[in-house]
Amino acid sequence: MIIPTEPIGSIPRPLDLIEAMQEVADGRMTATQIEPLYVDAIRDTIARFEATGSPVISDGEQRKVHNFATYCVHGLPNFAPDGFHLQFTDHDRIWPRLTSGPFRYRQRADTYLRDALDLARLPVKQAVISPSALSLMYPADDLPDYPRDQFITDLLREHEDEVRGCLRLGADSVQVDFTEGRLAVKLDPTGHLLNSFIHLNNLALGQFSTEDRRRISVHTCPGGDCDTTHSADADYADLLPSLFELKAGRFMVALAREPDRIRVLKMIRDHIKADQQVFVGVIDPLDPVIETPETVRDRVLEAAEFIPLHQLGTTDDCGFSPFSDDTSTSRDTAFAKIRSRVEGTALAAAALGRSRG
Ligand SMILES: [Zn+2]
């Protein structure tokens, strides 16, 4: 018996790369000068990922500047730095704000994937940002000459092109990062904001065939930056029924850090559809303690009590460094945790195989 397991995506960047990224931002280093550091970071990340035994890997999002969400528009002239405030428990991260049309990507994740596939021997997944997160870049008041409807049309096309580019290159799967789903529950308890996000993301997912959607996943989490979250206090009960309405084949659900995992597993059991898979988080990237394989095994066995085995996989609760300058977790710790996830998931599969004959 095999239980699938895969990462979310990000791995902490090497410290010399983080310093160089700051020097580029300050104008003390050029894009040409930093390029060898990116190449080294990606090569090292893929080699270390493969050494963990993980059957699916990522490039660790080494090239995503500054984070998992705004990489695609970083460096564009029609953005101001003072947009949406993503509020973590003790600090804010601020999104760029669109100042004029048209909305276009400057970087697409399929270009990152192409580099990774050149170096990797194992299947590679690719994370992309959701349309709903990008929708937060449009200002509250409509822009003159670039109405919101046109913006939505443009962003859906950019997103679709990015996902299709990844699928075409041979991504093992394409993961849509939807951290703002749980945040929406907190920001708007009426549920209106979450419903609008689900609707928008389903417009995007609806463009893909059933076969493609089996390779598209959606990641939900309460955020993870500098060992803090933005919406862990928002109740999963207000999110999960809507989450499984998304027309995706796989869901990557943060679970390890939840205070009452059984309650969440029951909700997943009650709302997951027959043609959907759920990869539950069995590693907490915000906890400096490295989980043992036995701890992971027990979490998987717990999940298997509620989720049919053919629909169950495991993952990490979140990326290890969704923001490129986050140094709260070391690369060594991240890879050690991944190794525990892989080994613990295999231990659980073996135990389930024995118990079910
Ligand atoms: Zn996450």
- Kindly list the domain boundaries of the chain, sorted by start residue: 15-355
Q: pTM here?
A: 0.98
Distance 257 CA to ligand 1 centre (A): 12
Please report the pLDDT score of residue 356 as a whole number. 80
Compute how many other C-beta atoms are within 10 angstroms of the C-beta atom of residue 145: 8
Distance 20 CA to ligand 1 centre (A): 25
Distance 222 CA to ligand 1 centre (A): 7
Distance 56 CA to ligand 1 centre (A): 17
Distance 323 CA to ligand 1 centre (A): 11
Please report the pLDDT score of residue 70 as a whole number. 97
Distance 170 CA to ligand 1 centre (A): 23
Distance 317 CA to ligand 1 centre (A): 7
Please report the pLDDT score of residue 282 as a whole number. 98
Please report the pLDDT score of residue 130 as a whole number. 98
Q: For residue 168, is it left (φ>0), alpha (ψ between -120 and 50) or beta?
A: alpha
Query: Strands, DSSP E only, in the chain?
Result: 79-80, 85-87, 92-94, 97-98, 126-129, 174-177, 216-220, 250-253, 277-283, 312-316
Please report the pLDDT score of residue 38 as a whole number. 97
Contact 309, 350 (CB under 8 A): no
Distance 274 CA to ligand 1 centre (A): 24
Architecture of the domain whose range is 15-355: Alpha-Beta Barrel (3.20)
Distance 177 CA to ligand 1 centre (A): 7
Distance 132 CA to ligand 1 centre (A): 15
Please report the pLDDT score of residue 145 as a whole number. 94
Distance 321 CA to ligand 1 centre (A): 9
**Helices 109-119 and 148-169, interaxial angle, to 10°?**
10
Please report the pLDDT score of residue 168 as a whole number. 98
Distance 211 CA to ligand 1 centre (A): 25
Distance 220 CA to ligand 1 centre (A): 6
Distance 210 CA to ligand 1 centre (A): 25
Tokens matching residue 28: 């003390």
Which residue ranges in the chain fall short of pLDDT 70? 357
How big, in percent rounded to 5, are the helix, strand and coil portions of the chain? 45, 15, 45
Distance 32 CA to ligand 1 centre (A): 31
Distance 10 CA to ligand 1 centre (A): 9
Query: Three-state DSSP class for 97?
Result: strand
Contact 318, 223 (CB under 8 A): yes
Distance 68 CA to ligand 1 centre (A): 9
Distance 147 CA to ligand 1 centre (A): 31
Distance 225 CA to ligand 1 centre (A): 9
Distance 300 CA to ligand 1 centre (A): 19
How far is residue 327 from each of residues 16, 18, 19, 135, measured CA to CA in Å? Answer: 12, 9, 11, 28
- Contacts of residue 28, defined as CB under 8 A and 6 or more positions apart, other chains included, come to none
Q: Which of 248, 240, 261 is nearest to 306 (CA)?
A: 261
Distance 223 CA to ligand 1 centre (A): 5
DSSP character at residue 290: P
